[in-house]
Amino acid sequence: MIGGSTGISTGSRGVQLPGWLRDRWRRWRNAKLLDPLVQRKLSGFWITRRRAQREASEAFDLVAGFVYSQVLLACHRLGVLTQLRDGPLTHKQLLSALDLSPAAGLTLLRAAEALDLLECDESDTNEPIWWLGSKGAALLGNAGALAMIEHHAVLYRDLVDPVALLRSPRGSTELARYWPYATADTPSTAGSEQVRAYTALMAASQGLVADEILDSYDFTRHRRILDIGGGDGTFLRHVRQRAPQAQLVLFDLPAVAAEARRRFGGASGVECIGGDFAHDALPAGADLITLVRILHDHDDELARSLLHRAATALAPGGCLVVAEPLAGTPGAVRMGNAYFGLYLWAMGSGRARTAAEISAWMREVGLVDIEERPTRIPLQTRLIVARRPA
Ligand SMILES: C[S@@+](CC[C@H](N)C(=O)[O-])C[C@H]1O[C@@H](n2cnc3c(N)ncnc32)[C@H](O)[C@@H]1O
């Protein structure tokens, strides 16, 4: 729950106690937990033991999380997961593919096993057999996640000194240079060199997002669809497969729109328009406008004005779809405020918002029938739909 306009969370979950009782409970709980003797007792007493162990393990994950991410990065860069894609390998076979000393290789493989990236079968041979683990298989099957694992090396460098990151002027980071539009005064002057890396990353991570959106909202009833900030057109290519009847219009920075045009290769019924959505007129007449992973990149003023411009560009009766990961997502609250909070801070603009905030802004710009449509994996994307009155 967001505490009013300050954005300060109460941090409470589950049953809502009256304020005075909540404060007393917090004071009492924290005093107890700060005491190592109490901690020892809680983890020894049979009624509290399981919970204390679980909380200790969760706290340790917070302490050690960066190591887990680097184990994953090492596995990815060394091709450990890919080696096991088609089936298990013996320890010697896997080791020989890694170009590491036996001791270093074993250290990495055991670490990956502990993180469920790998599984080791030591049952009936003298030599262990390595399999993909459940998390390893799920990640290997997700091109977007693999692209993000490698991309996070940039964020990791910015986070080496998190206090310095938070104290420096926003935008003086490597991640801000990676996403030049986040801090540029004139983003539309960015050349193809400056947009290439992020455009490829967005295309690689678009597959699952597109399916989530297309499964949640029926695109087949629209005749002209405008995708604002549409990247190289990967999302619209998915749309075209489901809704071949629609004319498609993509709007993005000139260098990105040029790449989209190249990738569509002159396909009929597709237009790619270059411009700056903060200043240039948006193409009019669409009966569906999509903003896929756009609003969270921008500070409130630009995000609100973009919603206003999109609402105005819609044909009367047309619909606006906003799809992105949101803050306060049940079961994924860390993703919104912890992951995206720091990611977007380092990037130099934007923030993850709640569904309530975006819905309120939609209402402000005159949209109606605002509703959230469920998606299968809300962590990846949530979907808010609204309509311009006819
Ligand atoms: C995070 S990417 C999302 C791309 C795509 N919608 C997707 O989900 O894969 C944001 C996109 O917005 C575009 N963009 C950012 N600022 C823009 C601006 N001022 N005018 C037009 N496009 C902009 C970027 O070039 C980029 O393609």
What per-residue confidence (pLDDT) applies to 376? 93
Of all atoms in ligand 1, which is nearest to the CA of residue 279? 19
Same domain (yes/no): 136, 75: yes
What is the 153 CA–ligand 1 centroid distance (Å)? 21
Model confidence over 261-316: pLDDT tens digits?
Answer: 999 998 999 999 999 999 999 999 999 999 999 999 999 999 999 999 999 999 99
What per-residue confidence (pLDDT) applies to 14? 58
C-beta 233 within 6 A of ligand 1 = no
Task: Please determine, for residue 216, whether its predicted confidence score (pLDDT) is greater than 50.
Answer: yes
Classify residue 71 as exposed, middle or buried by CB count within 10 Å of its CB (0-12, 13-18, 19+).
buried
What tokens does 224 get? 């002209």
Structural domain that includes position 53: 43-140
Q: From residue 163, how far is each of 160, 167, 168, 336 by CA, in Å?
A: 9, 6, 9, 20
Same domain (yes/no): 116, 233: no
Same domain (yes/no): 218, 365: yes
**The domain spanning residue 210 has which CATH number?**
3.40.50.150
| Sign of the alpha-carbon torsion through 245, 260, 347, 309 | negative
Model confidence over 1-28: pLDDT tens digits?
Answer: 233 333 333 444 556 788 889 999 999 9
What tokens does 174 get? 């490597």
Same domain (yes/no): 300, 169: yes
Model confidence over 238-250: pLDDT tens digits?
Answer: 999 999 999 999 9
| Sign of the alpha-carbon torsion through 296, 297, 299, 304 | negative
Q: How many secondary structure helices (H) and strands (E) does the chain include?
A: 18, 12
In this structure, which residue's CA is closest to atom 12 in ligand 1? 229
Same domain (yes/no): 288, 353: yes
C-beta 256 within 6 A of ligand 1 = yes
Same domain (yes/no): 91, 183: no
Could you say which DSSP state residue 253 is in? -
- Answer yes or no: are the C-beta atoms of 370 and 359 closer than 8 Å: yes
Model confidence over 50-100: pLDDT tens digits?
Answer: 888 898 889 999 999 999 999 999 999 999 999 999 999 999 999 999 999
Map residue 168 onto helix, strand or coil: coil
What is the 70 CA–ligand 1 centroid distance (Å)? 29
162 located within any domain: yes
In this structure, which residue's CA is closest to atom 9 in ligand 1? 202
Decide the pairing of beta strands 8-9 and 2-3: antiparallel
Between CA 389 and CA 344 the distance in angstroms is: 33
Global pTM reads 0.90
What per-residue confidence (pLDDT) applies to 11? 44
